[in-house]
């Protein structure tokens, strides 16, 4: 019985032997693995009368400029006309650009020179204005000192006026004691003070006029120097 089963099992291949047979059947031929063999079927073949095929055939072929780069024997016999770009227009444009840049450079140089001269003239005028300003400041300082002295003089005069008013009352009392033939005329201190004040005012106005004339002359000189 066991022998019969063994004889029956020997006729049926095992799974391992079956897989090994399948693997041995797919052998490589020339490093090409055959996945599925071509089967000739009887059916409708693609004809040139098909619309899709016609559209594909109507598509033109696009070749590069140098057809020899395709390494096709059918295209090697054809003569190729290689169009070269002329360098004369490019050279002409370069010369024109160089001339334009040289003209712009000359204009910039001239403008820089004129700007430098203008800056030097402005610096000279500013220095002259500073000198004139310092002279005017010194004259104004002298005028301020004179005004301060005048204020001090006015304070002294007011003090003297108070003293004179105190003395006048005593003098008038003594004058009334004297007999009529020996009396002195009445002393008018207000008239004396007013006369002194008017003289000071005239002096003050004279100083102001002198300062204005000096300032006007300096301004005229400055304007003439700036114009030149």
Q: How does pLDDT run across 151-203, given as a tens digit for each residue?
A: 888 888 888 878 877 777 777 788 788 787 777 777 666 666 565 556 666 66
The candidate with the shortest Cα–Cα distance to 222, out of 139, 138, 130, is 130
The whole-number pLDDT of residue 178 equals: 78
Q: Which of residues 189 and 92 earns the better pLDDT score?
A: 92
Stretch 122-142: mean pLDDT: 91
Stretch 132-137: mean pLDDT: 91
Please answer whether residues 211 and 136 qualify as being in contact, where contact means their C-beta atoms are separated by less than 8 angstroms.
no
Stretch 40-67: mean pLDDT: 71
Beta bridge partners of 29: 32
Angle at 21 between CA 15 and CA 25, to 5 degrees: 145
Please answer whether residues 218 and 136 qualify as being in contact, where contact means their C-beta atoms are separated by less than 8 angstroms.
yes
3-class DSSP state for residue 32? strand
pLDDT of 96 > 50? The answer is yes
Q: Long-range CB contacts (< 8 A, 24+ apart) of 214-222?
A: 214/139, 215/136, 215/139, 218/132, 218/135, 218/136, 221/132, 222/128, 222/129, 222/132
pLDDT of 42 > 60? The answer is no
Banded pLDDT at 22 (limits 50, 70, 90): very low
3-class DSSP state for residue 29? strand
* Average pLDDT of the chain to the nearest whole number: 72
- Poorest-confidence range of 38-47, 169-178, 190-199, 207-216? 38-47
- Poorest-confidence range of 58-72, 108-122, 213-227? 213-227
């Amino acid at each position: 019985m066991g022998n019969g089963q063994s004889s029956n099992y020997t006729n049926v291949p095992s799974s391992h032997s079956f897989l090994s047979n399948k693997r041995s059947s797919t052998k490589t031929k020339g490093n090409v693995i055959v996945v599925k063999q071509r089967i000739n079927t009887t059916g409708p073949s693609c004809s040139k009368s098909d619309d899709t095929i016609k559209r594909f055939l109507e598509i033109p072929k696009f070749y590069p400029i140098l057809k020899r780069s395709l390494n096709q024997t059918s295209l090697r016999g054809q003569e190729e006309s290689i169009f070269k770009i002329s360098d004369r227009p490019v050279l002409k444009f370069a010369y024109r650009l160089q001339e334009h840049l040289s003209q712009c450079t000359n204009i910039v140089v001239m403008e820089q020179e004129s700007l430098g001269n203008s800056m030097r003239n402005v610096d000279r005028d500013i220095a002259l204005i500073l000198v004139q300003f310092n002279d005017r400041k010194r004259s104004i300082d002298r005028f301020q000192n004179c005004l301060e002295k005048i204020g001090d003089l006015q304070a002294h005069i007011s003090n003297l006026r108070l003293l004179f008013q105190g003395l006048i009352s005593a003098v008038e009392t003594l004058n009334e004691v004297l007999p009529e033939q020996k009396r002195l005329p009445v002393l008018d201190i207000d008239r004396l003070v007013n006369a002194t004040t008017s003289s000071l005012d005239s002096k003050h106005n004279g100083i102001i006029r002198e300062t204005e004339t000096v300032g006007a002359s300096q301004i005229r000189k400055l304007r003439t120097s700036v114009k030149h």
